[in-house]
């Protein structure tokens, strides 16, 4: 197949949701439809289970699984689909944010009973800011939940989206009869009490037809007619263009557990979802169709074997063809590197591939040369944008507990930070190192991994920080900025990229500082215009 055809047939996306909304179940059903797996239960949940083991051992177990679920690829209807895994647990939110830089669209899963939950809100906000096309899937329609219109309202308000339903439920919970597919103009009915089987799809081109009454009964038929009329009256007509611009979000209803509404979602997805999109670099906009290869690292996964410090760097291909054994420029190191065994991912395995295309993800063996955000090209100096750091929630000093192992400790910290496990800040005043994390559990993980993978020991010391704020002065030379640097010196630190950060100890002190130095801006994110 020709290069351009390969690009056209790729769809790379992520499924985002609050834990328990049904992301794993939906992923699995999509893979079943794609024939990539044969049975339910094949996809391991990447979520943190509470239970017998301590939470952080559970994270280690999860790390093993997440290699396997990082990218799940399958073919459907001639389309190559790559699903990128996005952990729902809030302690891994940063991982998910980074993965969202590598997707071309997302599907948002919402539990019909719980509605819009906290993690959904945060993740959708990131997608909205980046204009990532989103499809919403309202799941668990076999259970009692919120009224469809009420839920659509909630989605519009809490997620600040403009929605338009492309399917609509007929009843709910015990009375759930099926789904009217507005997109395809047909009806899917649940059959029998088992609620497990789907009757054949029935074409309903005219909702007024008597056939509808026969199928679902007079009452349900009339309700459906009224509801669809309301839908057409309230919501904008679906426009593929607006969806692709991130300005309109189509909504589907279904039940992932019962495979209900999943085929409709998938069929619509392959038709409307974007093929690999152009990506901005600091230098220029890069188009997938360009013949020279470029790509960037969005995730690094350390191997589970502590004796081999091999890591797998996940590269999203943005343009051109990525070929095995071909030298590419590692832009940050200004060095050519080549890869003898790049991995491609499938539903349950990974394999060495000779060639990959825009939209694809390749896994590159790495011994510590990559960090998240690194760009690879055929020689052009290009730096992909868009993997910012967010202010951590927790901050602690890290101390060396074994003076003979300080080299190992620093190397370990360095590599774990490259992987994106946490963020390191170095205080301007005394060079002390501060580790910032999204969740408190990460401290245990870091301690454990430093000891087991690097032979180093560390202790922590509490540090009262509310937020890390990246400092953005209007003018580095003005006296106000100089005074800020002098007065606030003991709250200043450098992040790993050498950017200056103000560690505010309370919302109040941040506010006071802002008032006192109005020409200095503070950002909770490391990248700003
Ligand atoms: P995740 O945390 O978002 O990956 O959620 P899971 O896919 O693991 O699902 C969480 C729970 O909800 C599991 O017990 C699923 O069996 C259940 N579940 C998922 N989809 C449905 C559905 O459509 N209906 C019902 N009743 N339960 C579902």
Note the pLDDT of residue 389: 80
Note the pLDDT of residue 95: 79
Residue 178 pLDDT grade (very low, low, confident, very high; cuts 50, 70, 90)? confident
Note the pLDDT of residue 90: 72
Q: Considering only residues 184 and 75, tell me which one the structure prediction assigns the higher pLDDT.
A: 75
Q: Which of 25, 47, 172, 178 to mutate to test the pocket of ligand 1 (most atoms within 8 A of CB)?
A: 25
Among the ranges given (99-103, 197-201, 296-300, 476-480), the one the predictor scored with the smallest mean pLDDT: 197-201
Ligand 1 pocket, CB under 6 A: 17, 19-25, 45, 47, 88, 139-140, 142-143, 255-258
Note the pLDDT of residue 196: 54
Task: DSSP letter for 193, please.
Answer: T
- Check pLDDT > 70 for residue 396: yes
Note the pLDDT of residue 243: 97
- 22 annotated ligand binder: yes
Among the ranges given (84-93, 370-379, 418-427), the one the predictor scored with the smallest mean pLDDT: 84-93
Q: Which of 48, 257, 262 to mutate to test the pocket of ligand 1 (most atoms within 8 A of CB)?
A: 257
Note the pLDDT of residue 390: 82
Residue 41 pLDDT grade (very low, low, confident, very high; cuts 50, 70, 90)? low
Residue 128 pLDDT grade (very low, low, confident, very high; cuts 50, 70, 90)? very high
- 139 annotated ligand binder: yes
Note the pLDDT of residue 50: 47
- Check pLDDT > 80 for residue 310: no
Instruction: Tell me the percentage of the chain whose pLDDT exceeds 90.
Output: 57
CA distances from 67 to 60, 312, 340, 417 (A): 11, 9, 20, 18
Report phi then psi at 132, rounded to 5: -80, 130
- Check pLDDT > 90 for residue 459: yes
- Tell me the pLDDT tens digit for each residue of 165-177: 999 999 888 788 8
Q: Which 3 state secondary structure label does DSSP give 372?
A: coil
DSSP string of 450-509, one letter each residue: HHHHH---EEEEE---SEEEEEEES-TTSHHHHHHHHHTGGGEEE-TTS-EEEEESSHHH
> Are the C-beta atoms of 372 and 363 separated by less than 8 Å?
no
- Tell me the pLDDT tens digit for each residue of 46-67: 554 544 445 566 666 666 555 5
Helix (H) or strand (E) holding 375: strand 375-377
Kindly state the average pLDDT of the residues 318-347. Answer: 91
Q: Which of 245, 281, 242, 238 is nearest to 131 (CA)?
A: 245
Question: Which one of 63-77, 89-103, 303-317, 481-495 scores highest in mean pLDDT?
Answer: 481-495
CA distance 178 to 199: 9
CA distance 300 to 421: 9
Q: Which of 22, 109, 174 to mutate to test the pocket of ligand 1 (most atoms within 8 A of CB)?
A: 22
Note the pLDDT of residue 388: 74
Residue 426 pLDDT grade (very low, low, confident, very high; cuts 50, 70, 90)? very high
Q: Which of 188, 182, 277 is nearest to 236 (CA)?
A: 182
Q: Which residues contact residue 152 at a Cβ distance below 8 angstroms, ignoring those fewer than 6 apart?
A: 163, 165, 235, 251
Atom of ligand 1 nearest to the CA of 143: 26
Q: Considering only residues 38 and 275, tell me which one the structure prediction assigns the higher pLDDT.
A: 275
Tokens read off for 17: 């949701």
Residue 43 pLDDT grade (very low, low, confident, very high; cuts 50, 70, 90)? low
Note the pLDDT of residue 167: 93
Kindly state the average pLDDT of the residues 113-142. Answer: 93
Instruction: Tell me the percentage of the chain whose pLDDT exceeds 70.
Output: 88
CA distance 263 to 47: 25
Give distance in angstroms: CA of 30 to centre of ligand 1: 14
Helix (H) or strand (E) holding 400: strand 394-400
CA distance 427 to 217: 71
Kindly state the average pLDDT of the residues 504-523. Answer: 94
- Check pLDDT > 50 for residue 89: yes
Q: Considering only residues 108 and 85, tell me which one the structure prediction assigns the higher pLDDT.
A: 108
Kindly state the average pLDDT of the residues 67-79. Answer: 82
Bridge partners of residue 102, in order along the sequence: none
* ipTM confidence score: 0.99
CA distances from 490 to 466, 494, 499, 501 (A): 15, 12, 16, 11
Average pLDDT, rounded, for the chain: 87
- The alpha-helical segments, DSSP class H, found in 217-307 are 218-234, 240-244, 262-272
Three-class SS of 76-118: ECCEEEEEECCCCCHHHHHHHHHHCCCCCEEEEEEECCCECCH
Note the pLDDT of residue 52: 43
Report phi then psi at 129, rounded to 5: -65, -30
């Amino acid at each position: 197949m020709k290069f351009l055809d390969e690009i056209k047939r790729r769809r790379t996306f992520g499924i985002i949701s609050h834990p328990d909304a049904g992301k794993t179940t939906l992923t699995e059903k999509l893979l079943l439809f794609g024939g990539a797996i044969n049975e339910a239960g094949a996809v391991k949940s990447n979520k943190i289970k509470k239970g017998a083991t301590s939470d952080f051992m559970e994270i280690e177990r999860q790390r093993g699984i997440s290699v396997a679920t990082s990218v799940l690829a399958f073919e459907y209807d001639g389309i190559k689909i790559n699903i990128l895994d996005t952990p729902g647990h809030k302690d891994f939110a940063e991982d998910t944010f980074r993965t969202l830089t590598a997707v071309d669209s997302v599907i948002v899963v919402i539990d019909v009973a719980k509605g819009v939950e906290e993690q959904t809100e945060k993740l959708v906000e990131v997608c909205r800011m980046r204009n990532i096309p989103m499809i919403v899937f309202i799941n668990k329609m076999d259970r009692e939940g919120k009224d469809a219109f009420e839920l659509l309202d909630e989605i519009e308000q809490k997620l600040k989206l403009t929605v338009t339903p492309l399917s609509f439920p007929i009843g709910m919970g015990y009375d759930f009869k099926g789904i009217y597919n507005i997109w395809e103009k047909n009806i899917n009915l649940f059959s029998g009490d088992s609620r497990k089987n789907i009757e054949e799809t029935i074409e309903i081109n005219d909702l007024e037809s008597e056939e509808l009454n026969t199928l679902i009964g007079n009452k349900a038929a009339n309700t459906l007619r009224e509801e669809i009329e309301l839908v057409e009256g309230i919501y904008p007509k679906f426009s593929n263009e607006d969806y692709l611009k991130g300005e309109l979000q189509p909504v589907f209803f279904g039940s992932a557990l019962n495979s209900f509404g999943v085929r409709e979602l998938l069929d619509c997805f392959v038709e409307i979802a974007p093929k690999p999109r152009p990506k901005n670099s600091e230098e220029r906009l890069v188009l997938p169709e360009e013949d020279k290869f470029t790509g960037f690292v969005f995730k690094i996964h350390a191997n589970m074997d502590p004796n081999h410090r091999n890591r797998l760097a996940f590269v999203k291909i943005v343009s051109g063809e990525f070929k095995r054994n071909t030298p590419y420029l590692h832009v940050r190191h200004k060095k050519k590197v080549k890869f003898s065994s790049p991995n491609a991912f499938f539903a349950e395995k990974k394999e060495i591939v000779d060639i990959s295309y825009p939209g694809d993800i390749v896994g590159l063996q790495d011994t510590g040369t990559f960090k998240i955000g690194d760009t690879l090209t055929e020689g052009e100096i290009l730096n992909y944008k868009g993997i910012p750091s967010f202010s951590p929630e927790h901050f602690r000093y890290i101390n060396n507990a074994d003076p003979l192992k300080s080299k190992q400790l620093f190397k370990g910290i360095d590599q774990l930070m490259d992987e994106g496990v946490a963020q390191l800040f170095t205080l301007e005043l005394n060079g002390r190192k501060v580790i910032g994390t999204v969740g408190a559990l990460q401290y245990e993980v870091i301690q454990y991994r430093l000891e087991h993978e690097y032979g180093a020991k560390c202790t922590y010391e509490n540090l009262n920080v509310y937020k890390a704020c990246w400092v953005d002065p209007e003018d580095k030379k003005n006296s106000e900025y100089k005074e800020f640097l002098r007065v606030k010196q003991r709250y200043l630190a450098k992040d790993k990229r050498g950017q200056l950060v103000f560690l505010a100890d309370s919302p109040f002190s941040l506010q006071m500082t802002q008032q006192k130095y109005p020409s200095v801006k503070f950002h909770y994110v490391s990248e700003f215009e």
